[in-house]
């Protein structure tokens, strides 16, 4: 089999492919027509971030089985086009976890002891010993925002150095955090208690700019370290906070735009240490990602499961057409449930009733988990979602019942924590038309698509009119509305609005300021041009 490699990878990966008997061809720095020519007879394509794998590439490569990304990010690969052409896309997310964790620790020490600044001045002949009074990590509190794979490795290392650990992550169980020696707290508490704050979240619409002026003021001193993703921390706000003494310092490896602009305010503040996205730049990490991709290419050629496949359904071809409509339905129900539940998630249950309960629904359950975890994971998918649940200590249950009282088939996703739980039920009308039919016990008939507002309020006259008036004031058009109440007259009601326009945060704040409103959540689902896809 021919393996085309268009970006340099470690020799260990090349050797593993050759030892497996594959014809390995390297063609670095090819693009455009040259790339289409080179990939025409390839069975596998290995890239890093330098090669754009577009729909045209897949059209030009009829024999392509797999595209392997020697690293994590796959922004340069058109995964939808790959799926359309039956090509597996796989990456190597584990290979650089240790490297990124170690760089975070190194940056923490460098910031605390002003190592780069002192080094630079000594190189120019200044003996500036009295200018630098460092901070010891021992006995200090480490705040961890995002306790995923990298966050957990950082926790292990700095816990061993005598730091107290607090963490914010709504998608990990307290039991798992306890095993890591970390106390789970709310976001604001994490900021307030942290002497050192490390960031390990993906960049999503929910996390973009999540740490800005107000959040930095909550820290009231200390150091911020971001080796995760640029854009999570507001760079202008961070530069100002360190410059005016709100923070003691910061260490940044990732930027909203890379390469970072020479005009970035981060470069002008002496107590902000910067490195050019070196988190994964170690010999071991590069070897690990190269050999991981080589192994996955072997598995794909052999027709075996590809461990880090981002788009490959693990289901029999004869079953797939029957369960396919439920995959998106379950994912949407999981996404809605996770966003409506207040607090972290420690359990997920997916229940099937009616005809769907007779099918092989492993992929449907995995898709429900994908919807639950998607807001805070880099590349969660139906293949790796069960593994993410296990890593985060989340209890996952699956149940089936062949009878359904009201519908031919019903899928229910329930998310819960130690205090509360919330269920979202979905079904299909006319074979493949998805509907959300219950939310937290309220009977609705909502189209799970695009921009949605879910409002829970006192069941009193005038509330729906009030909501409509507020939306109208902000030129937000209502495309559909579904209202229900769970209890007797005068209790509580829930309304789901399908909207044509995005909902700014001030709209939600205006609605919640009315004492008749209990809760308001704005959701963006598949098809929304300003939310997740």
Task: Write the pLDDT tens digit of every residue in 31-66.
Answer: 999 999 999 999 999 999 889 999 999 999 999 999
CA–CA distance, 433 with 328 (Å, rounded to integer): 11
Residue 533 pLDDT exceeds 50: no
- For position 416, what pLDDT does the model report? 94
Q: How confident is the model at residue 252, as a pLDDT? A: 98
Given the structure tokens 């010999």, which residue do they identify? 283
Could you list the beta-strand ranges (E) of 110-177.
141-145, 164-168
Q: What is the mean pLDDT of residues 369-386?
A: 72
Token pair recorded at residue 110 = 């460098």
State the average pLDDT for the chain. 91
Q: Looking at the predicted structure, is the pLDDT value of residue 443 above 80? A: yes
pLDDT at 197: 98
The sign of the dihedral angle between the CA atoms of 227, 248, 214, 172 is positive
- So what's the architecture of 320-524 in CATH? 2-Layer Sandwich (3.30)
Q: How far apart are CA 380 and CA 282, in angstroms?
A: 25
Residue 280 — pLDDT band, cuts 50, 70, 90? confident
In angstroms, the Cα distances linking 13 to 6, 46, 68, 94, 513 are 13, 10, 12, 15, 58
Confidence at residue 529, expressed as pLDDT on a 0 to 100 scale: 45
pLDDT band at 83 (very low <50, low <70, confident <90, very high): confident
Domain ranges of the chain: 2-95+284-301, 97-274, 320-524
pLDDT digits (tens, 9 = 90+) for 302-315: 877 687 888 865 56
Per residue in 206-246, pLDDT tens? 899 999 999 999 998 999 999 998 999 999 999 999 999 99
Closest CA to 120 of 109, 133, 131: 131
Cα-based distances in Å from 337 to 261, 345, 421:
40, 10, 9
How would you list the strands of the sheet with 478-485, edge to edge? 478-485, 492-499, 451-458, 517-524
Three-state SS at 394:
coil
Does residue 388 carry a pLDDT above 90? no
For the chain, counts of helices (H) and of strands (E): 17, 22
For the domain made up of 97-274, give the CATH fold: Rossmann fold (3.40.50)
**Gap between the Cα atoms of 52 and 30, Å rounded:** 10
How many angstroms separate the Cα of 282 from the Cα of each of 126, 286, 294, 378, 444? 32, 6, 19, 21, 53
Nearest to 322 by CA among 426, 409, 419: 409
Give CA–CA dist 445/473, Å, rounded: 26
Between 526 and 273, name the one with better pLDDT.
273
317 confidence band (pLDDT: 50, 70, 90): low
**Residue 531: what pLDDT?**
36
Q: Are the folds of 2-95+284-301 and 97-274 the same?
A: yes
The label of the residue with tokens 């106390």 reads 183
Region of residue 231 (left: phi > 0; alpha: psi -120 to 50; beta: else):
left
Tokens of 267: 């470069």
Predicted pLDDT of residue 4? 98
**Residue 385 to residues 90, 219, 316, 391, 523, Cα–Cα distance (Å):** 14, 33, 19, 10, 21
CATH topology of domain 2-95+284-301: Rossmann fold (3.40.50)
Q: What is the pLDDT of residue 6?
A: 97
At 395-430, the pLDDT tens digits run 999 999 998 888 999 999 999 988 899 999 999 997
Catalytic residues: 229, 258, 277
**pLDDT digit string, tens, across residues 111-132:** 999 999 999 999 999 999 999 9
Q: What is the SS3 string spanning 172-238?
A: CCHHHHHHCCEEECCHHHHHHHCCEEEECCCCCCCCCCCECHHHHHHHCCCEEEECCCCCCECHHHH
Residues 461-482 have pLDDT tens digits of 999 999 999 999 999 999 999 9
pTM flag (> 0.85): no
Q: What is the mean pLDDT of residues 512-517?
A: 95
Contact present, 105 and 157 (Cβ < 8 Å): yes
What is the 3 state secondary structure string of 32-60?
HHHHHHHHCCCCEEEECCCCCECHHHHHH
pLDDT at 501: 93
297 pLDDT higher than 90: yes
pLDDT given for residue 309 in this prediction: 85
- pLDDT attached to residue 366: 86
Mean pLDDT, rounded, for 264-287 = 94
Q: For residue 435, how many other CB atoms are within 10 A of its CB?
A: 17
pLDDT reading at 247 higher than 90: yes
Least confident of 129-143, 377-391, 425-439, 512-526: 377-391
Residue 167 has pLDDT above 60, yes or no: yes
Q: What share of the chain in percent tops pLDDT 90?
A: 72
The residue assigned the tokens 């769970």 is 486
pLDDT in tens, 340-370: 987 789 999 999 999 999 998 888 998 899 8
Element (H, E) at 472: helix 463-473
């Amino acid at each position: 089999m021919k393996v085309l490699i268009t970006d340099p990878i470690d020799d260990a990966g090349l050797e593993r492919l050759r030892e497996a008997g594959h014809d390995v061809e390297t063609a670095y720095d090819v693009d455009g027509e040259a790339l289409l020519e080179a990939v025409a007879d390839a069975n596998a394509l290995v890239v890093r971030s330098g090669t754009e794998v577009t729909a045209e590439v897949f059209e030009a490569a009829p024999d392509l089985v797999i595209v392997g990304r020697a690293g994590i990010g796959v922004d340069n690969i058109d995964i939808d086009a790959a799926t359309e052409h039956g090509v597996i896309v796989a990456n190597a997310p584990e290979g650089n976890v240790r490297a990124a964790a170690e760089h975070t620790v190194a940056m923490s020490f460098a910031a605390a002891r002003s190592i780069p600044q002192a080094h630079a001045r000594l190189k120019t002949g200044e003996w500036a010993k009295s200018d630098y009074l460092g901070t010891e990590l021992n006995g200090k509190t480490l705040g961890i925002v995002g306790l995923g794979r990298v966050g957990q490795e950082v926790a292990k290392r700095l816990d061993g150095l005598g730091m107290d650990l607090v963490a914010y992550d709504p998608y990990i169980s307290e039991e798992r955090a306890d095993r890591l020696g970390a106390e789970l707290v709310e976001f604001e508490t994490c900021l307030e208690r942290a002497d050192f704050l490390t960031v390990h979240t993906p960049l999503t619409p929910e996390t973009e700019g999540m740490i800005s002026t107000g959040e930095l003021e909550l820290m009231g001193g200390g150091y911020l370290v971001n080796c995760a993703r640029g854009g999570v921390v507001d760079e202008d706000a961070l530069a100002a906070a360190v410059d005016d003494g709100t923070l003691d310092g910061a260490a940044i490896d990732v930027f909203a735009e890379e390469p970072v602009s020479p005009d970035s305010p981060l470069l002008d503040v002496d107590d902000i240490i910067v490195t050019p996205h070196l988190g994964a730049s170690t010999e071991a990490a590069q070897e690990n990602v190269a050999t991981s991709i080589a192994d996955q290419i072997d598995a794909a050629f052999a027709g075996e499961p590809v461990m880090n496949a981002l788009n490959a359904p693990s289901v029999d071809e004869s079953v797939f057409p029957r369960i396919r409509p439920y995959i998106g339905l379950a994912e949407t129900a999981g996404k809605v449930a996770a966003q409506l539940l207040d607090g972290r998630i420690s359990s997920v249950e997916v229940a099937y009733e009616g005809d769907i309960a007779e099918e092989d629904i492993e992929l449907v359950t995995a898709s429900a988990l994908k919807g639950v975890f998607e807001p805070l994971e880099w590349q969660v998918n139906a293949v790796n979602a069960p593994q993410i649940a296990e890593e985060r200590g989340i209890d996952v249950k699956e149940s089936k019942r062949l009878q359904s009282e009201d519908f031919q088939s019903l899928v229910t996703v329930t998310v819960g924590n130690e205090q509360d739980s919330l269920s979202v039920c979905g079904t299909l009308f006319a074979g493949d038309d998805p509907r959300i039919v219950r939310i937290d016990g309220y009977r609705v008939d909502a189209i799970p698509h695009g921009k949605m507002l879910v409002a829970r309020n006192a069941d009193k006259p005038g509330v729906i009119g009030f909501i409509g008036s507020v939306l109208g004031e902000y030129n937000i058009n209502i495309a559909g509305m579904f209202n229900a109440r769970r209890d007797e007259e005068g209790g509580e009601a829930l309304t789901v609005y399908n909207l044509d326009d995005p909902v700014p945060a001030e709209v939600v704040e205006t609605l919640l300021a009315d004492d008749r409103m209990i809760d308001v959540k704005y959701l963006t689902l598949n098809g929304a041009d300003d939310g997740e896809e």
